[in-house]
Amino acid sequence: MNIGIVLYPTYGGSGVVATELGKGLAKRGHNVHFISYARPMRLDGFHENISFHEVSFSAYPLFEYPPYDLALASHMVDIIKHQKLDLLHVHYAIPHATSAYLAKQILRESGASIPVVTTLHGTDITIVGIDPSYAPVVTFSINKSDGVTAVSEYLREETYKHFDITKEIEVIPNFIDLKRFRKSEQSHFKKALCPNGEKVLVHVSNFREVKRVSDTVEVFHNVLKSGIKAHLLLVGDGPERQKVENRCRELKICDKVRFLGKQEKIEDILSIADLFLIPSGSETFGLAALEAMSCSVPVLSTNIGGLPELNIHGETGYLCDLGDTDTMGKYAVSILSDDGLQKKLSANARKRAEQFELNQVIDHYESYYKSVIHDVTASATPQ
Ligand code: GMT
């Protein structure tokens, strides 16, 4: 198949999922065309049947905000026509699903058609999408997609609850490359960081408010207060970074907290972790937690959104109420002070991650694409 994948190129989860999906489809022999305003972060090196199409859009003094959605729709039309795409898969509804609808209508004028699949990822529904300034357009664009997928049962239900959706939504979860994300030998790294065998707690995010990175610091502070010697590694960067650093200064724990910034080889860092913290206020799936679990790291998370579908309480880690950093601290201490428990949770975490293995999920997407193409073709064929 010739498949167009429209995505955000940044470190966010939807961009990672879309890029890894495209790479996986290309390995199976499909021709994949990534479409975005910049080269996706995870799209490194040269791949035989992968192309990247950059959406350029010109500024004009009249535009305070150049209309990216229109430039994107024009690019879609061009690529669908000239690369003879069989299907267009857009990740994150805003504005991708809307641009796809526009492109489809333009193509219809010349008798061409393109099946469109929209994957809902998270904040496109839970935070940005429900905002009245976007909601009618998001509803319309989802209903006009030929296929709609969501990354968890939770997101599927939220979409039905908050929008007037007439389409069937298929749940296709996030996935993981178990070969890449596995615990590897990093003893030199661990020794350099923790010369006295200190425990390592890790948090990875884009440091947006919704990630509640400050809660991570509070939990870590509780761990230190219990007498456990430990370090906290904060991976990623974003708007909350300064606030979090200020809190570390107030608590006088800066010497124990390392801000590592954006990192490519997260699996190396996860390989030395004893515990992963994800205290998010909203999380439709929690790809960062899956990456940790795949590296055999137990997860301490909130019981919010799709996280309970991934992190099994008492088995792969623990789930706590939003903002309850005292209980989170207690669970963290119980894991870090009991080697037997830590090992049991680690092994279970890896086993749980195996249920989200990349190839199984790509199979799911492939068969879903085929069913959408079949339905679109059938409805276009005169009886
Ligand atoms: O807001 C973000 O964290 C980024 C966002 C995205 O769409 O780029 O991530 C969402 O999609 C990921 C991939 O499907 C999910 O694993 C994340 O849970 C989800 N984030 C939120 O719901 C906050």
At residue 368, the pLDDT reads 98
Please tell me whether residues 30 and 161 are part of one structural domain: yes
**Nearest atom (ligand 1) to Cα of 15:** 8
Q: What would the mean pLDDT of 367-377 be, rounded to a whole number?
A: 96
Range of the domain at 265: 187-356
For ligand 1, the distance from its centroid to the CA atom of residue 78, given in whole angstroms, is: 29
Place 60 in a pLDDT band, splitting at 50, 70 and 90: confident
**Do residues 114 and 255 both lie within one domain?**
no
Compute how many other C-beta atoms are within 10 angstroms of the C-beta atom of residue 367: 10
- Backbone angles phi and psi of 127, in degrees to 5: -120, -60
Lowest mean pLDDT among 46-60, 77-91, 203-217: 46-60
What is the rounded (10 degree) CA torsion for 181, 183, 189, 192? 130
Is there a domain that residue 202 lies in? Answer: yes
Quote the ligand 1 centre to 215 CA distance (angstroms).
19
Mean pLDDT of 341-363: 98
Q: Would you place residue 247 in the very low, low, confident or very high pLDDT band (cuts 50, 70, 90)?
A: very high
Q: What are the two backbone dihedrals, phi and then psi, of residue 173, each rounded to the nearest 5 degrees?
A: -75, 170
181 found inside a domain: no
Single-letter residue type at 189:
F
In a domain, 71, yes or no: yes
Q: Take residue 131 and report the two structure tokens written for it.
A: 């905002």
184-203: pLDDT as tens digits: 998 898 899 899 999 999 99
Same domain, 368 and 314: no
- Number of domains making up the chain: 2
- The candidate with the shortest Cα–Cα distance to 20, out of 43, 4, 51, 52, is 43
What is the residue-averaged pLDDT of the chain?
A: 95
The length of the chain is 383
| CA of 377 relative to ligand 1 center, distance in Å | 32
314: closest CA among 329, 296, 326, 301? 301
pLDDT average, residue stretch 246-251: 98
Query: Which pLDDT score, from 0 to 100, does residue 99 have?
Result: 98
- Going by pLDDT thresholds of 50, 70 and 90, the confidence category of residue 382 is low
- For residues 11 and 160, membership in a common domain is answered with yes
Do residue 151 and residue 198 come from a single domain? Answer: no
Which of 90, 135, 137 is closest to 117 using CA atoms? 90
Residue 58: the pLDDT is: 84
Cβ(14) – ligand 1 distance below 6 Å: yes
The pLDDT assigned to 383 comes to 60
Band of the pLDDT at 44, cuts 50, 70, 90? confident
The alpha-carbon radius of gyration of the chain (Å, integer) is 22
- Count CA within 13 A, CB hemisphere, residue 33: 22
For ligand 1, say whether the CB of 101 is within 6 Å of any of its atoms. Answer: no
Q: Which two structure tokens, joined as six digits, stand for 188?
A: 């030199």
**Which of 6, 120, 283, 304 best tests ligand 1's pocket when mutated (most atoms within 8 Å of CB)?**
283
d(CA 329, CA 45) in angstroms, rounded, equals 42
* Confidence check: pLDDT of 38 > 90: yes
Name the nearest CA neighbour of 165 among 187, 149, 183. 149
pLDDT higher than threshold 80 for residue 221: yes
Reduced to 3 states (helix: H, G, I; strand: E, B; else coil), residue 161 is helix
Token output for 366:
């492939």
Residue 75 has pLDDT above 70, yes or no: yes
Q: Within 10 Å of residue 229's Cβ, how many Cβ atoms?
A: 13
In a domain, 182, yes or no: no
Is residue 78 situated within a structural domain?
yes
Answer yes or no: do 151 and 251 share one domain: no
Query: What CATH number should be reported for the domain holding residue 109?
Result: 3.40.50.2000
Q: What type of residue is 268?
A: D
Q: Distance of CA 262 to CAs 45, 224, 266, 278, 370, Å?
A: 19, 25, 9, 17, 37
CA distance 121 to 29: 26
Average pLDDT of the segment spanning 169-173 = 98
Q: Looking at residue 319, what is its pLDDT?
A: 98
pLDDT of residue 220: 98
Phi then psi for 11, rounded to 5 degrees?
Answer: -70, -10
Q: Which of 289, 277, 282, 290 is nearest to 335 (CA)?
A: 277
- 123 and 35 in a common domain: yes
Mark residue 245 as left, alpha or beta (left: phi above 0; alpha: psi -120 to 50; beta: remaining). Answer: alpha
Structural domain includes residue 180: no
Cβ–Cβ < 8 Å for 18, 124: no
Euclidean distance between CA atoms 212 and 210, whole angstroms: 6
Domain co-membership, 364 together with 258: no
Helical ranges in 252-323 per DSSP H: 266-270, 287-294, 307-310
248 in the same domain as 315: yes
- Per-residue pLDDT tens digits for 108-130: 999 999 999 999 999 888 888 88
CA distance 363 to 320: 33
199 shares its domain with 264: yes
Are the CB atoms for 55 and 37 separated by under 8 Å?
Answer: yes
> 349 and 212, same structural domain?
yes
pLDDT of 39 > 70? The answer is yes
Ligand 1 touching residue 24 (CB < 6 A): no
